[in-house]
Structure 1
Amino acid sequence: MVDFRRWNHLLIFTATYRHLSNLLNRRNPVALPQLTDEQRKEALAKAAEARKARAELKEQLKRGDISLKEVLAKASSDEIIGKTKVSALLESLPKVGKVKAKEIMDELEIAQTRRLRGLGDRQRRALLERFGFSED
């Protein structure tokens, strides 16, 4: 004869796991907005323009035509600069690659996914100090 009391905890665990799994995997079906062909073309053009502007900004940083301090100052007013990831900006600086950028961001407690507009005052000051700028 099988003693089901021994298996009771396993059955409870399995049922709980299935319930949690179902909750986590449940997706709210949110429909994407239906765009007309013209709206789609406009959105694609706007996205391409933003990518081009970010690439130009990173190139200016790499050449030294613009400083990190100037970029951070513009981030609050310029939507394209504000939406640039901090990691991409740091990687554009001379002598900073992916590894060093990650180390700097970890050291300054800045999330790898953070965008310039999302930086707090403390993070902004720490970033400027790390690269030898004082905030005036």
Structure 2
Amino acid sequence: MAPSLPTFTPEQRAASLQKAAETRAKRAEFTARLRTGETSGAAGLDEALGDPVLAKMRLTSFLRALPGWGKISIENFLEATGIADNRRLGGLGTRQLDEVKSAISS
């Protein structure tokens, strides 16, 4: 028998929905700043690594928000560096972070 899902009270459900909405809004605001160039890629990466909400963002979403990075350039970068396309910013190793920093600063 499969484990059942937890039952939430209406207050717990509302709190979870509110937290999810705040998380989405924060990520949307962050990617908008990257797209407009208000925040540079290197500064954005440092900001994301210091924030637990932004650290859960996928690397591909982060790169896609940067000017000059499209689907093909992201695929080529991931293939060349050996980074999986489902990696999150907070889950990158030091070597991988160095490669990302080098790529976004050039």
The two structures have a TM-score, normalised by structure 2, of 0.90
1:126 maps to 2:99: yes
Secondary structure of the equivalent of 1:131? helix
- The partner residue of 1:93 within 66, 73, 79 is 66
Match of 1:35 in 2: 8
Match of 1:115 in 2: 88
Asked whether the 8 Å contact 2:42–2:104 carries over to 1, the reply is: no
Match of 2:32 in 1: 59
Bigger Cα displacement from structure 2, 97-106 vs 87-96 = 97-106
Asked whether the 8 Å contact 1:91–1:98 carries over to 2, the reply is: yes
Secondary structure of the equivalent of 2:15? helix
Query: CA–CA distance in 1 between the matches of 2:78 and 2:52?
Result: 22
Match of 1:69 in 2: 42
Task: Compute the RMSD of aligned alpha carbons.
Answer: 1.5
State the 4+ residue runs in structure 1 displaced beyond 3 angstroms. none
Match of 1:82 in 2: 55
Bigger Cα displacement from structure 2, 69-78 vs 121-130 = 69-78
The two structures have a TM-score, normalised by structure 1, of 0.71
The structure, 1 or 2, with the larger RCO (C-alpha pairs under 8 Å, 6+ apart) is 2
Bigger Cα displacement from structure 2, 97-106 vs 115-124 = 97-106
Secondary structure of the equivalent of 2:61? helix
Query: CA–CA distance in 1 between the matches of 2:41 and 2:93?
Result: 16
Which residue type is aligned with residue 5 of structure 2?
A: L
Query: CA–CA distance in 1 between the matches of 2:40 and 2:78?
Result: 18
Structure with bigger gyration radius: 1
Query: CA–CA distance in 1 between the matches of 2:42 and 2:24?
Result: 21
Sequence identity (%): 35
Query: CA–CA distance in 2 between the matches of 1:88 and 1:33?
Result: 31
Aligned length: 106
Asked whether the 8 Å contact 1:71–1:81 carries over to 2, the reply is: no
